Amino acid sequence: MNSLIDILIFLPAILIAITFHEYAHGRVAYALGDDTPRLQGRLTVNPLPHIDWIGFAMLLIFHFGWAKPVQVNPYNFKQISLKQGMMLVSLAGPGMNLLLALAGMIAMRLLTPFHGSEWGGIALQLFHPLVTINIILAAFNLIPLPPLDGSKILAGLLPDSGASMMYSLEQYGTVILLLLIVTGIASKIFLPIAGFLYNLLYTLVFF
């Protein structure tokens, strides 16, 4: 996003991606028995309750930012263990982003015959960011490092001893993640994942 026009094109996709990502976390937590997201007004697709304004400004300026995390109390979960419940809640965010990317990819395929027209070209310009932003957000959050969703997804798949080790990293996770971002290591981890996911969706839709 190197110009105002780029920002205006990508902004709707960014707002949709982060809003539905956080909404999905809250909706699954609520479905599992935790009322915390509802009480905090997070069961909505209105972007405003989900925006962290500092993180949003960082995203626009430095191309790295964050939304306001949905608070979840796993001790309220019913009929499921804390570990498995958190895995499902964490999966919901990236899963929602992949569904949005898939929807955007399908729209792009339907619009492809009209790419030569003015309105068709504009529509494709709007849907392509929806696909890429959601895939990048999903891939980044799948990195198995706290506070990202991937850490709790991995913890849900590991035995209790391994899950405890993952949870113990939470106090250092943010610092480690920032170091990975600054050094460029994070992009070397999630960009191949993003490429794989993009190619997978493209193959499914443009078969």
Q: Which residue has the tokens 């989900």?
A: 50
**What is the pLDDT averaged over residues 150-168?**
92
| Region of poorest pLDDT, from 31-45, 77-91, 115-129, 140-154 | 115-129
Mean pLDDT in residue range 130-147: 95
User: Does the active-site annotation cover 170?
Assistant: no
Dihedral, 82, 83, 89, 92 alpha carbons, nearest 10:
-160
- Supply the Cα-derived Rg of the chain in whole angstroms: 18
Q: How many residues does the chain have?
A: 207
pTM over 0.85: yes
Mean pLDDT, residues 40-48 taken together: 97
Give CA–CA dist 127/106, Å, rounded: 10
Structure-block tokens of residue 39? 């009480």
Which of 13, 16, 20, 22 is labelled catalytic? 22
Is the pLDDT score of 2 beyond 70? no
How far is the C-alpha of 138 from the C-alpha of 20, rounded, in Å?
12
* Structure tokens that stand for 122 in this block: 């504009």
Average pLDDT of span 145-150: 94
Token code pair at residue 81: 């263990």
pLDDT, mean of residues 200-206: 94
Q: How does pLDDT run across 50-89, given as a tens digit for each residue?
A: 999 999 888 878 778 889 999 999 999 999 999 999 999 9
